[in-house]
Chain A
Amino acid sequence: MGNNIPSFLLGSSSQQPLQRGGGKIGFPFLEKGVDHLASIVKQGYIQWEYSFRNGFFQRVDARVKILFLLFFLLIVSVKKEVIPEVGIFLFVLMLTVLSRLNLLRVYKKVLLFGFLFGFLIALPSALNVVTEGEILLPIGRLSKSYRVWIYHIPQEIGFTKPGIYGVAMLTMRVINSLSLSFLVLYTTPFHEIIRALKILKVPNSFLLIISLCYKYIFILVKTIEEMHLAKKSRLMRELRPAEAREWVVSRMAFIYRKTRLRCEEVFKAMTARGFSDSLRFYGFPAMGKYDWAVTSLFFCLGIFLLWI
């Protein structure tokens, strides 16, 4: 082989001295996209780590947690006063602390989504154009009032008392629903959540598909990260947007092909282990005293919140 080695490989083409500068390479959309994908894996890992901590809620049976989530989501939706909603918020906050979750991590998301999907979306409805009532916060004055189709635009525009109350209610409901969901998600391993859905009579085939999807998302994300690194290892200049798009399209085709092959392989592996058209899952063990005590506590508290 020694004789076949090309002459250019025997010489050194890369002995130019390092020349710093030449401009900066931007942070292209590809890098941002791969960073976001990496954060999916990171979130999955964090969730898995939290769910195995020795906290109050982690010790509770997953079935109890699913029923608790549904029951309290119902209570959050039917309550019409802000005070009970604040009470539920404080109760979930207490459970989050007892479960040894990172308050900042959980509530950063809860408050962000609460602000976006609760407060910001509902805010226009607090104007007297939509909700009539006593104006608490005037924001402008027109020369006269208008009537457009079925809408009446008053001369003085501002946020009304019932409007603000409605926005506060909706925001609290969104925040409470999210904090309840995050509490259950962060304190329960994903596979147990899936199995616990059986008590809601979700078909086994559906549960199997969700489990497989969840698992293969991580595998595909890892593949995408590696492909990105492979590209990076041979990149000596800034990638033009058109080149980046071409690469993304070619890689999408590759991922599609790989996914299809993987799908066939998984099916063969399942068949080889006795898979037929019916599926059976390993059942849950009987609930212990702790689980029954927590169930009773949550049930009584829920009834009390419904009653007040």
Chain B
Amino acid sequence: MDLIRLENVSYRYYDHIPALCEINLAIDKGENFAIVGANGSGKSTLLQIMAGLIYPTEGRFFFQGAEVTEKALREKGFLRWFRQWVGYVFQDSDVQLFCPTVLDEILYGPLQLEMGDEEALDRASQVMELLQIEHLKDRPSYMLSEGEKKRVAIGSVLSINPEILLLDEPTNGLDPRTQVFLVELLFTLHQAGKTIVFATHDLELVGEMATRVAVLSEEHRLVRIDRTENILSDPDLLLQVNLIHEHVHRHGPIVHRHLHFHPLPHQHEE
């Protein structure tokens, strides 16, 4: 059975601005799945629907065969079950961190699961050790750098131990060392059996991490779902959805034009 299934899902912000048009998509358990598209194509909206934070204007969303609706998420049993399965990491860590200190952030989830204080603290320490943020535990979130905030935001979700992690632009605005750390962390979590779904327009990240990719167009439609290598080796598709562009530059005496995407091989014209 698919872990996530979307059937003809459309979404309009404020009943007017289209964000997604007729999306059909299925994700299996244990996948490492990327959603790619240009800015404003609807990647974040799609992730938020999968996280049960907003609801499709049209169409249906199923999680493990159960339809996720506003009404279903008002049932205490369903809400707890769903939120324990699905963790969501926002692009802007500032909006995600709302507890007084880093430790409180990490403890928030376990305490909500009615875990004992000792067990919750033990879990929080393990997560902080994994993310290398133990030294920050007494700091408020506004005294952290962007990279540190991202680690805390991920930690606040990991402490719930969700089976599926949804990440919106996970490497955006991070320094190279934090980016590498994050990619390694996601790899490890995937190897541990977690399902990873992330939205990005960073094709290098997609190439490094994802096994399957869904491509959204600027018209908010799903244009293709395929294996990563097939998507990344189709420059026409990437050009069409505005994920790569053609540019002219100089290599010493040679001026040449090529598609701007480094993983794509290109040859210099003589």
Contacts and interface: CB of A to CB of B under 8 A. Distances in A.
Interface of A: 1-2, 4-16, 18-25, 38, 41-42, 45-46, 49, 223, 226-227, 229-238, 247, 250-251, 254, 257-258
B66 A233 contact: no
Interface in B142-167: 142, 156-158, 160-163
Interface in B211-231: none
B117 interface: no
Contact of A237 (B15, B80, B100, B160): B80
Contacts of B98: 227, 230-231, 247, 250-251, 254
A229 B109 contact: no
Contacts of A227: 95, 98
B166 to A, nearest CB: 9
Contact of A230 (B81, B95, B126): B95
B138 interface: no
Contacts of B84: 13-14, 16, 236
A21 B77 CA distance: 5
Sort A-B residue pairs by CB-CB distance and give the 7 closest, nearest first. A6-B126, A22-B77, A42-B14, A22-B76, A14-B84, A233-B88, A230-B96
Nearest to B160: A234
Contacts of A41: 14
B75 A22 contact: yes
A236 B112 contact: yes
16 contacts: A9-B192, A13-B84, A14-B81, A14-B161, A15-B163, A18-B66, A19-B77, A21-B76, A25-B74, A25-B75, A226-B95, A234-B83, A235-B112, A236-B79, A250-B98, A257-B142
B26 interface: no
A24 to B, nearest CB: 5
B123 A8 contact: yes
Interface in B1-25: 14-17
B76 A237 contact: yes
Nearest to B166: A233
A42 B163 CA distance: 35
A45 B14 contact: yes
Given A14-B163, A42-B16, A236-B80, A229 B53 contact: yes
Interface in B170-220: 184-185, 188-189, 191-194
B208 to A, nearest CB: 15
B94 A258 contact: yes
Contacts of B113: 236
Contact of A235 (B77, B83, B191): B83
B85 to A, nearest CB: 5
A11 B184 CA distance: 19
A18 B130 contact: no
A250 B60 CA distance: 35
B64 interface: yes
Question: Chain B's interface: helix, strand, loop or mixed, by majority?
Answer: helix
B53 A20 contact: no
Interface of B: 14-17, 48, 51, 53-54, 64, 66, 74-81, 83-85, 87-88, 90, 92, 94-96, 98, 100, 108-109, 112-113, 123, 126-127, 129-130, 142, 156-158, 160-163, 184-185, 188-189, 191-194
A1 B184 contact: yes
A3 B12 CA distance: 44
Given A10-B193, A14-B85, A250-B98, A234 B188 contact: no
Contacts of B127: 6
Contacts of B74: 24-25
B79 A25 contact: yes
A23 B76 contact: yes
B196 to A, nearest CB: 13
Nearest to B76: A22
A5 B134 CA distance: 15
Contacts of A258: 94
A297 B142 CA distance: 59
Given A16-B81, A42-B15, A25 B53 contact: no
Nearest to A233: B88
Given A41-B14, A236-B83, 8 more contacts: A8-B123, A12-B161, A12-B193, A14-B163, A23-B76, A24-B75, A236-B80, A237-B79
Given A45-B14, A45-B17, A233 B51 contact: yes
Interface centre among A9, A41, A250, A251 (most CB of B within 10 A): A9
Q: Among the interface residues B95, B126, B160, B163, which one has the most CB atoms of the partner chain A within 10 A?
A: B95
Nearest to A49: B16
A38 B77 contact: no
